[in-house]
Structure 1
Amino acid sequence: MKISVFLAACGMMWSIWMTSVMIDYKELIGSWQLVHFDGMEKIVYSPQYQNATPAQRASMDARIKFRLENTVYEFLEGGKLKYIELQDQTIVRKEAKVELSEGNLLLIHDEKGDRLAQIVEFTPDKLVLQPISKNANTGKLIFERIKK
């Protein structure tokens, strides 16, 4: 019991520390591969997945794998972001302007409008984004740096 309380307190302090340490945009420059998103867990633990036939589960697993393999963010000099978006299971390359502001808020300006995400964890090899939206709680996106 004491260990779990200690670990929870450590996690909370880490989160507070991460939001107080300003990340420099230059640290983001490079390519980042999506390796996990919280929506995966919602799908896998959903009744539709749990009650699915093996063929239906395989189809859902394939869609999750497809999304992971095809979601790459490439941060470029000058506040530009190149990324891949899936539209009706079709890969579409996009480009946007990005701003990194106080509180490690990442503002993405694209043709759909502005999107906001907070960087909740960052190391040279790991980037965790928490999209901020009034419509839905999409959960965290975890990226790993692609080594060249």
Structure 2
Amino acid sequence: MKNLFLTILCFYIFTSVFAKNPNEKTFLILFDKSELKINKTSPEYIELSLMNIFQTKSYSGNSDAAILVKTSHQQIDKCMIGDFIIRINQEKIATLDEVAFQIIDLDESKGIYQKLLANLEDKNQKSKKSNKLFKSNP
């Protein structure tokens, strides 16, 4: 009994310690590769300006260049992220909006996707019910 209690207690402690922060917001910042080439910069270099404030991860390769930004501040939105002043290269400083192709709030997009999916499921259920009514009345 003592072992069971200790196991449950340890499990509860570990899950609470490693739980995801519910107030965390995630933004995806996309860049146009040709524009980055014109400005002689990379997403990794732009990430250096943001990594002191946010948790960041840059991606570049065969697809579009991107930076994933996570913040625990619930008040920050994509407009505020776009207003951050960043260093583009050694000579040039600008706001993130001027360089970024698009800034996407992934949490907001996830909510919109779930609402659309729920509406689609409701429509499918209603159409199935109406089809059953027509089939039962010969």
TM-score class normalised by the smaller sequence: under 0.3
- The structure having more radius of gyration, on CA atoms, is 2
Indicate the structure with greater strand content: 1
TM-score, normalised to structure 2's length? 0.23
TM-score, normalised to structure 1's length? 0.22
Indicate the structure with greater helix content: 2
